[in-house]
């Protein structure tokens, strides 16, 4: 089995044509025509710890949500974590593949999965690029929840430790908008969708003024909102190809630490 046989399965679900112009999704390190050596490890990010884990498990391919190389590299001299990881991958003959904004935009991609985890129903694309693709989703809960009950649900199902939020202008929540990762750009789409709460990450100070009393915005953290990528990619590959070892990373960790 070649590396391109694995990546083709992913791209049937999340075509590279869906990625944003600034993105670097796809095969970042390695050759598509090479034979897959060993199994596949799925993680959120490529880190030295994830590379060590892949070597221990005998995996010749790491599939992540975030691409290791996002900005062009001018040199490889171990001066940064990115450079060191590229060097490690090449020396250990481990290919690196990323499924990033194309997975964000794909039907049943990132925000869809997060919505299902939270019990959101009747979902539609929040900011569509076509009828079924685009960033974010909006839908309704089966029954209204108090804000605190929804926050408890976020803590329980997504292992969220800290929720940054705007003023709690709703006593109960029924209509929910979601955009995994950095979703500040979808704020107006959330307003237009008539949501009670917009759940996203990486918001700036002024973003918390933006709802202007019309809805609540909740920042649950970038990693917390995107950890579901591991399950999505695992499901895609495990349903398509069964004759290779597929692993979910136990070393995929949040780089953000909280002191409470």
User: Please, are residues 68 and 82 in contact by the beta-carbon 8 Å criterion?
Assistant: yes
What value does the mean pLDDT take over residues 179-202? 98
State the CATH class of domain 107-225: alpha beta
In the chain, where the domains are located: 3-103, 107-225
Using alpha carbons, list the distances in angstroms from residue 44 to 62, 187, 250. 10, 25, 11
Cα-Cα end-to-end distance for the chain: 48
- The SS3 of residue 257 is coil
Written as six digits, the tokens of 83 are 């450079």
Same fold, 3-103 and 107-225: yes
What the block records as the tokens of 212 is 């202007």
Please report the pLDDT score of residue 243 as a whole number.
84
The strand pairing partners of 59, in sequence order, are 38, 39
pLDDT above 90: residue 242: no
Closest CA relative to residue 60, chosen from 247, 233, 238, 232: 247
Half-sphere exposure of 17 (CA within 13 A, CB side): 6
Superfamily of domain 3-103: NIF3 (NGG1p interacting factor 3)-like (3.40.1390.30)
Q: Give the integer Cα–Cα distance in Å for 244 and 241.
A: 7
- Percent of the chain at pLDDT exceeding 90: 97
pTM: predicted TM-score of the whole model, two decimal places: 0.96
């Amino acid at each position: 089995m070649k590396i391109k046989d694995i990546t083709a399965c992913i791209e049937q679900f999340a075509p590279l044509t869906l990625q944003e112009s600034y993105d670097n999704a796809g095969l970042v390190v390695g050759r598509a025509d090479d034979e897959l050596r060993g199994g596949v490890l799925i993680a959120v990010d490529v880190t030295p710890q994830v590379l060590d884990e892949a070597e221990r498990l005998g995996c010749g391919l790491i599939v992540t949500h975030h691409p290791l190389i996002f900005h062009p590299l001018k040199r490889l001299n171990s001066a940064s974590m990115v450079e060191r990881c590229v060097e490690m991958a090449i020396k250990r003959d481990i290919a690196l593949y990323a499924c990033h904004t194309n997975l964000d935009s794909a039907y049943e991609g990132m925000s869809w999965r997060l919505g299902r985890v939270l019990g959101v129903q009747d979902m539609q694309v929040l900011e569509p690029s076509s009828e079924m693709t685009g960033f974010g989703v909006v839908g309704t809960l089966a029954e209204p929840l108090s804000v605190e009950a929804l926050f408890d649900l976020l803590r329980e199902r997504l292992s969220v430790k800290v929720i940054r939020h705007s003023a709690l202008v709703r006593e109960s929540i029924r209509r929910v908008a979601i955009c995994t990762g950095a979703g500040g750009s979808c704020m107006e789409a959330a307003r237009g969708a008539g949501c009670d709460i917009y759940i996203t990450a990486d918001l700036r100070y002024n973003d918390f003024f933006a709802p202007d009393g019309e809805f609540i915005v909740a920042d649950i953290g970038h990693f917390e909102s995107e950890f579901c990528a591991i399950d999505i990619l695992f499901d895609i590959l495990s349903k398509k190809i069964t004759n290779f070892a597929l692993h979910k990373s136990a070393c995929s960790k949040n780089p953000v630490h909280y002191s409470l």
